[in-house]
Amino acid sequence: MSGPVSAFTPAPGAAPLSRQVRVQTATECRLLVRNGEQLLLAVVIPVLALVGGVLGARSLGLDLSREPVDVLTPGVLALAVMSTSFTSLAIATGFERRYGLLKRLGASPLPRVGLLLGKIGALLVVQTGQFVVIGAVALGLGWSPDPGPFGLPLTVAGVLLGTAAFASLGLALAGTLRAEATLAAANLVYLLLLMGGGVVLPRSSYGAAGDVLQVLPSAALGDVMRAALVDGSADLSGLLVLLVWAAVGSVLAGRYFRWE
């Protein structure tokens, strides 16, 4: 006769995917908070860009059609999305790949889709924190957004599409180049888009080059955020550009990303 079944009988097997994703998301967030360089990209640079831009515009008397803080804040929020979704993600993933962490995770019960969902979840959590901090600073500078009934949903749509576009491009970069090359390329692209990508300042500030900039994901995200938070309107061309970049980046990442 068999004895009574113990209440502590082992039940081997992986945890449900939802739980694995939650744990991976929390881990990704903790790693970012502990990394000073990532915090610099995520919070410090956008806040400095906002404060410096607003104070500089006011002292120089720049004509931006509205109060400088109302025009610059949506662009700085777009910059925060780009900082986290592209630069931070590319650099972190590049070094995880170099140290063999991605290879080890690929051999764990966590499926690759779970790893990807964990990274996306961490991006959204960090972006929420970024928006809280930047929004508080902007309100302190006199920001008075007028999104209307559709501004908030349009902002969320822009953030999600922008995250998809920049994250897929960042993964494509990190999955094809060496970690050091990814670090250099991601920072270089970030600086170029920050200074001349139409993300913080409206494209009209760039003169004739503004029409060319509209095909960049940085300018498209900036246009979408400004339209949503300043006028409460939809920039359909910007949303379309982000959708195209998200599709292109996903194809590149899916085809060329190497896990080791």
**Lowest mean pLDDT: which of 33-37, 156-160, 211-215?**
33-37
CB-based contacts of 207, cutoff 8 Å, min separation 6: none
**pLDDT tens digit string along 74-119?**
999 999 999 999 998 899 888 888 877 777 766 666 677 777 788 8
**pLDDT tens digit string along 179-207?**
899 999 999 999 999 988 889 888 888 88
Instruction: Report whether pLDDT(6) > 60.
Output: no
Count of alpha carbons within 13 angstroms of residue 171, beta-carbon side: 25
Show contacts of 61-64: CB within 8 Å, 24+ apart. Answer: 64/202
Count of CB atoms situated within 10 Å of the CB of 251 = 12
Task: Give the model's pLDDT for residue 32.
Answer: 74
Mean pLDDT of the chain: 84
The domains of the chain are located at 17-256
Average pLDDT for 156-175: 93
CA distance 221 to 79: 9
